């Protein structure tokens, strides 16, 4: 077997191990949170009896480890359980009439929205930052390089909501090109969806490009003092050939890592932007569920976030392995 | 090696070339008004120590200066045109076509991401000299001329898949593909083992001669340049010291500085036979992790107050032996005795007293000293650790130690970055001495230093030995150093001890095969040495 495949299998295995530990942390830490869903829902009128019945119905009367095993084994099969909310106190006595939705059912459309926005942003931001990073490295210390760097720093220094509101003022209010609300629904047609999502996508592009572009530039410039770059120059190759053919192929590993990091951010860290544009993504759902103490939903969101992080980092790892001939072609 | 180049025309002429480099926020001269000229087909040897400006001058011959450097005067005339006046694009047309460069470390000068063949023909392809497949065929032909194994297939490999010697030959082939007028060889064999060096030198010499290419051969090793060059130019601190035909230069060097380049070869310690043993290791096997055995059944005896030199190529197990002795790498098998008593295999189990008695000095003082510690901290640390010294006594002892290594007390508050290479190595010696050890292991301690500095360090070590009766294990790949300072010699190869004995015995025949190969591969000053050694090797097969 090619050693790369063994390495990949090992990485994937390690990914599962981390996912397991993350699930344990998610489950146990949410149990430590103050406040209790049952008491919050039943309110002032609760009696010990109704509390106990409701707890039993939600399965909260069982000990921690049993609940964890049950939750995890269901989660592995794609079932993240049912939401707490949607049931209310009156149903406590008649559990069969519960209208609680499944967490997966609740999560799916939200997740689709989040991935849609992330993908749209990535499609703009990744090529843009690679282009800017490479050209900045190529023309380093020129006016172009300084301008790109300074504007990237400016956008990264502003809070996202501020960037978002500026875009709204410019592109939705003064020039009414794009809508300021991105309230997409499951039935929104594709192109309208793209149109509605442009402002949040632009906001996210502005806040992520700086990071990716600067790291791309740094990764390339870092290699420019290597003897093989000098060798390439002394072969009479043009500057762009030296950068594109000799520096860039050796810079993919750090670049892939920083891109993965930013893509993960686009999925798990965009709640502020979702709130500004009223975009129905997972971030909002998670915040709402925390407020309502709807633990299964919070757990579901956290698990999806963890999975995204691990998967993206795995991909970055794979890229750094396959772009390294030392690993790809062993002695 | 013809010297009758008088009728050939001048290919390149550098006149009054001055170059400055930027550091510490100001410009410093690197090359001061140096003249250099090369005729077609001639090989010029450029020799000097590190910092002499050899590489800078060699690159300047192509009209290239590294970033942070600039031409400040003079001209570089090639076919009547001044390279210093050309713009980048005009020079790029010459680089890779008329000029080629062969770098010191082939391992670093090849791009790890591309196959060898693509890098070999890259310059010619991008300059449109020929078609891809035709260039590939020519490259394969050159690979064959360079005596690379599997010339048809070796080009499909990546740089990490071939050995250092093969890479160096591939790089020479790479320089030849565009049939340049001038090749700059920048220390092309310095990073190679002596046995590999012989072959690379021979192939470079043949190919340059056959294609009648002019070359500038940069090196710090006079014996090497004697084999390669028609003419030698000696540089120091950016000035030309002297310049003449190779034979004249070797027979009658005019300047004292040129004579001093032989320095180490002039030290000759008289060998001393000692029967008392201070350290012996017996039948040691060792490996890193679960890897292959790096040492196999190694037994070495170190005489009290004497010097054992361990010689061998890289990968022969020299440094691993040092790690076993110091306890950094507990052996899988075998025992270590110090003054007749068994020594614990693992560093952690040894008593402080036993740790004190064996000290180590490393090849690179830059990496073995903490850059943020002052000389006082560095030398004083063993005083605190082993001898519980404090305050006045501590400071006094540090100054004493500095005096021992021939530095004065003004050095006490300096940082490593404020010292020269030789001074740094002296501080490392002082640090080892501070523990008052009985045995010092010197791992390639002079390899990174210039000839004259090397001489100073070796003399110092010899003086300290006679004053304090310290025993040395001296690990080196340099036969000249071995001859200079050892009493006994251990020859290692592939993890085995090939032979051990008194210096006089090891260096006089009969030799085991490997020792013979090793000794015969050390370049000698005789310009005919390479030719002789090649014909003697050939006659064997």
Chain B residues with beta carbon closer than 8 angstroms to that of A232: 111, 122
What is the phi/psi pair of residue A85, to 5°? -75, 160
Taking only the tens place, the pLDDT of each residue in B466-493 is: 999 999 999 988 888 888 889 999 999 9
Chain A residues with beta carbon closer than 8 angstroms to that of B91: 236
Question: What is the ipTM, given to two decimal places?
Answer: 0.78
Of B101, B126, B157, the CB nearest to A234: B101
Kindly provide the residue ranges of all beta strands, DSSP E only, lying in A65-215, ordered along the sequence: none
- What is residue A89's predicted lDDT score, i.e. its pLDDT? 46
Q: How far is the C-alpha of B497 from the C-alpha of B30, rounded, in Å?
A: 45
Q: For residues A138 and A240, is the Cβ–Cβ distance under 8 A?
A: yes
Q: How far is the C-alpha of A135 from the C-alpha of A175, rounded, in Å?
A: 31
Mean pLDDT of B194-209: 85
**Helix, coil or strand: residue A1:** coil
In Å, what is the CA distance from B122 to each residue of A69, B99, B118, B179? 60, 14, 6, 13
Q: How far is the C-alpha of A219 from the C-alpha of B140, rounded, in Å?
A: 35
- What is residue A87's predicted lDDT score, i.e. its pLDDT? 61
- Which has the closest alpha carbon to B416: B360, B368, B375? B375
Tokens representing B467 are: 């004053």
Q: How far is the C-alpha of B363 from the C-alpha of B477, rounded, in Å?
A: 12
Tokens representing A259 are: 């891109």
User: Are A235 and B66 within 8 A, CB to CB?
Assistant: no
User: Are A234 and B66 within 8 A, CB to CB?
Assistant: no
Strand order in the sheet with B231-236: B99-102, B182-186, B214-219, B43-47, B231-236, B239-245
CA B148: distance to chain centroid? 23
Mean pLDDT of B305-316: 88
Taking only the tens place, the pLDDT of each residue in B413-435 is: 989 888 888 889 999 999 999 99
Chain A residues with beta carbon closer than 8 angstroms to that of B123: 235-237
Mean pLDDT of B287-301: 87
Chain A: give the shortest CA distance to residue B97, in Å: 8
Tokens representing B279 are: 């350290």
Report the run of H or E that residue B359 belongs to, with start and end.
Answer: strand B358-361
- Which has the closest alpha carbon to B206: B164, B135, B147? B147
In Å, what is the CA distance from B491 to each residue of A95, B193, B336, B471? 87, 14, 19, 18
Is the pLDDT assigned to residue B7 strictly greater than 50?
no
Q: How far is the C-alpha of A125 from the C-alpha of A115, rounded, in Å?
A: 15
- Which has the closest alpha carbon to A306: A13, A104, A79, A24? A24
Beta bridge partners of B494: none
Label residue B60 by pLDDT band (50, 70, 90). Answer: very high
Tracing tokens 């292991």 back to the chain, one arrives at B441
Q: For residues B34 and B84, is the Cβ–Cβ distance under 8 A?
A: no
**A-B interface: how many C-beta pairs under 8 angstroms?**
78
Chain A: give the shortest CA distance to residue B214, in Å: 17
CA nearest B162 in A: which residue?
A331
User: Are A249 and B114 within 8 A, CB to CB?
Assistant: yes
- What is residue A34's predicted lDDT score, i.e. its pLDDT? 67
The whole-chain average pLDDT of chain B stands at: 88
Length of chain A, in residues: 331
Torsion of CA B488, B491, B497, B499, to 10 degrees: -60
Taking only the tens place, the pLDDT of each residue in B167-186 is: 888 998 999 888 899 999 99
- Which residues of A fall below an 8 Å CB-CB distance to B? 226-228, 230-238, 241, 245-246, 249-250, 323-326, 329, 331
Q: For residues B133 and B207, is the Cβ–Cβ distance under 8 A?
A: no
A interface test, pick of B99, B113, B172, B184 with most A CB neighbours within 10 Å: B113
> What are the contacts of B243-248 at 24+ separation with CB within 8 A?
B245/B3, B246/B1, B246/B3, B246/B45, B246/B527, B247/B3, B247/B527
Tokens representing B53 are: 């400006």
User: Are B111 and A228 within 8 A, CB to CB?
Assistant: yes
Chain A residues with beta carbon closer than 8 angstroms to that of B95: 233-236
In Å, what is the CA distance from B535 to each residue of B2, B210, B211, B284, B519? 19, 18, 22, 39, 16
Chain B residues with beta carbon closer than 8 angstroms to that of A251: none
- Which has the closest alpha carbon to B301: B330, B328, B320, B273? B273
Is the pLDDT assigned to residue B191 strictly greater than 80?
no
Tracing tokens 């013979």 back to the chain, one arrives at B516
In Å, what is the CA distance from B388 to each residue of A71, A295, B380, B381, B392? 61, 61, 10, 10, 12
What is the phi/psi pair of residue A232, to 5°? -65, -40
Is the pLDDT assigned to residue B62 strictly greater than 70?
yes
User: Are A232 and B66 within 8 A, CB to CB?
Assistant: no
Taking only the tens place, the pLDDT of each residue in B82-119 is: 999 999 899 999 999 999 999 988 888 999 999 999 99
**Helix, coil or strand: residue A146:** helix
Low-confidence ranges of chain A (pLDDT < 50): 89-97
What is the phi/psi pair of residue A27, to 5°? -65, -45
Taking only the tens place, the pLDDT of each residue in B338-395 is: 988 898 988 899 999 999 999 999 988 888 899 899 999 999 999 999 999 888 999 9
Q: How many CB atoms lie within 10 A of CB B315?
A: 14
- What is residue B262's predicted lDDT score, i.e. its pLDDT? 64
Taking only the tens place, the pLDDT of each residue in A217-251 is: 999 999 988 899 999 999 999 999 999 999 999 99
Chain A: give the shortest CA distance to residue B185, in Å: 12
Q: How far is the C-alpha of A66 from the C-alpha of A84, rounded, in Å?
A: 18
């Amino acid at each position: 077997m090619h050693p790369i495949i063994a390495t990949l299998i090992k990485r994937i295995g390690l990914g599962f191990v981390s996912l397991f530990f993350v699930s344990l942390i998610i489950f146990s830490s949410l149990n430590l949170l103050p406040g209790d869903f049952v008491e919050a829902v039943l309110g002032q009128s609760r009696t010990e009896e109704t509390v106990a019945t409701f707890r039993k119905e939600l399965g909260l009367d069982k000990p921690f480890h049993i609940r964890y095993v049950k939750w995890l084994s269901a989660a592995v099969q794609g079932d993240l359980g049912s939401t707490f909310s949607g049931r209310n106190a009156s149903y406590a006595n008649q559990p069969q009439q519960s209208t609680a939705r499944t967490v997966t059912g609740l999560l799916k459309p939200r997740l689709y929205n989040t991935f849609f926005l992330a993908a749209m942003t990535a499609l703009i931001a990744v090529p843009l930052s690679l282009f800017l990073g490479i050209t900045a490295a190529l023309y380093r210390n020129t006016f172009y390089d300084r301008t790109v760097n300074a504007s990237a720093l400016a956008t990264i220094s502003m809070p996202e909501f501020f960037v978002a509101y500026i875009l709204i003022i410019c592109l939705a209010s003064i020039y009414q090109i794009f809508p300021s609300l991105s309230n997409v629904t499951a039935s929104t047609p594709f192109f309208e969806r793209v149109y509605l999502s442009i402002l949040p996508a632009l906001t996210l592009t502005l806040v992520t490009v700086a990071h990716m572009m600067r790291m791309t530039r740094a990764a390339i410039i870092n290699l420019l003092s290597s003897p093989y770059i000098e060798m390439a120059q002394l072969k009479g190759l043009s500057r762009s050939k030296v950068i594109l053919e000799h520096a860039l192929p050796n810079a993919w590993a750090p670049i892939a890592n920083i891109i993965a990091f930013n893509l993960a951010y686009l999925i798990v860290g965009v709640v502020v932007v979702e709130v500004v544009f009223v975009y129905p993504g997972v971030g909002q759902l998670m915040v709402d569920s925390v407020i309502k103490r709807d633990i299964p939903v919070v757990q579901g969101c956290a698990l999806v976030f963890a999975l995204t992080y691990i998967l993206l980092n795995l991909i970055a790892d794979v890229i750094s392995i396959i772009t390294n001939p030392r690993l790809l072609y062993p002695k | 090696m013809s010297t009758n180049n008088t009728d050939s025309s001048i290919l390149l002429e550098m006149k009054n070339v001055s170059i400055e480099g930027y550091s510490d926020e100001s410009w410093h001269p690197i090359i001061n008004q140096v003249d250099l000229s090369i005729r077609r087909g001639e090989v010029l040897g450029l020799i000097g120590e590190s910092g002499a400006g050899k590489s800078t001058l060699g690159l300047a011959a192509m009209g290239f200066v590294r970033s942070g450097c600039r031409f400040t005067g003079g001209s570089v005339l090639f076919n009547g045109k001044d390279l210093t006046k050309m713009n980048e694009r005009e020079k790029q047309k010459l680089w890779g076509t008329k000029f080629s460069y062969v770098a010191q470390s082939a391992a670093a000068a090849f791009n790890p991401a591309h196959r060898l063949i693509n890098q070999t023909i890259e310059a010619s392809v991008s300059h449109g000299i020929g078609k891809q497949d035709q260039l590939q065929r020519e490259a394969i032909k050159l690979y064959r001329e360079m005596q690379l194994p599997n010339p048809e297939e070796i080009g499909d490999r990546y740089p990490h898949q071939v050995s250092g010697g093969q890479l160096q030959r591939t790089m020479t082939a790479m320089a030849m593909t565009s049939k340049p007028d001038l090749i700059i060889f920048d220390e092309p064999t310095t990073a190679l083992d002596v046995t590999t060096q012989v072959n690379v030198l021979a192939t470079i010499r043949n190919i340059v001669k056959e294609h009648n290419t002019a070359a500038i051969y940069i090196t710090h090793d006079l014996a090497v340049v004697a084999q390669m060059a028609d003419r030698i130019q000696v540089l120091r601190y950016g000035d030309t010291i002297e310049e003449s035909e190779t034979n004249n230069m070797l027979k009658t060097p005019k300047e004292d500085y040129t004579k001093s380049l032989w320095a180490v070869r002039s030290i000759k310690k008289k060998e001393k036979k000692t029967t008392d043993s201070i350290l012996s290791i017996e039948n040691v096997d060792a490996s890193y992790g679960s890897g292959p055995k790096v040492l196999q059944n190694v037994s070495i005896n170190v005489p009290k107050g004497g010097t054992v030199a361990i010689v061998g190529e890289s990968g022969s197990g020299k440094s691993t032996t040092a790690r076993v002795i110091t306890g950094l790498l507990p052996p899988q098998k075998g025992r270590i005795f110090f003054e007749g008593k068994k020594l614990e295999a693992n560093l952690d189990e040894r008593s402080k007293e036993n740790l004190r008695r064996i000290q180590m000095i490393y090849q690179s003082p830059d990496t073995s000293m903490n850059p943020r510690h002052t000389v006082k901290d560095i030398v004083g640390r063993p005083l605190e650790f082993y001898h519980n010294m404090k305050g006045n006594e501590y400071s006094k002892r540090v100054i004493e130690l500095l005096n021992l290594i021939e530095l004065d007390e003004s050095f006490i508050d300096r940082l490593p970055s404020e010292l020269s290479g030789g001074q740094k190595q002296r501080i490392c010696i002082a640090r080892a001495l501070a523990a008052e050890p009985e045995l010092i292991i010197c791992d390639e301690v002079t390899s990174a230093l210039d000839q004259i500095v090397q001489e100073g360090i070796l003399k110092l070590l010899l003086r300290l030995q006679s004053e304090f009766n310290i025993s040395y294990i001296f690990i080196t790949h340099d036969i000249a150093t071995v001859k200079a300072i050892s009493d006994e010699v251990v020859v290692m190869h592939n993890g085995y001890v090939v032979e051990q004995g008194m210096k006089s015995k090891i260096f006089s025949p009969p030799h085991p095969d490997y020792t013979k190969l090793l000794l015969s591969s050390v370049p000698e000053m005789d310009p005919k040495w390479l030719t002789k050694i090649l014909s003697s090797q050939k006659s064997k097969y």
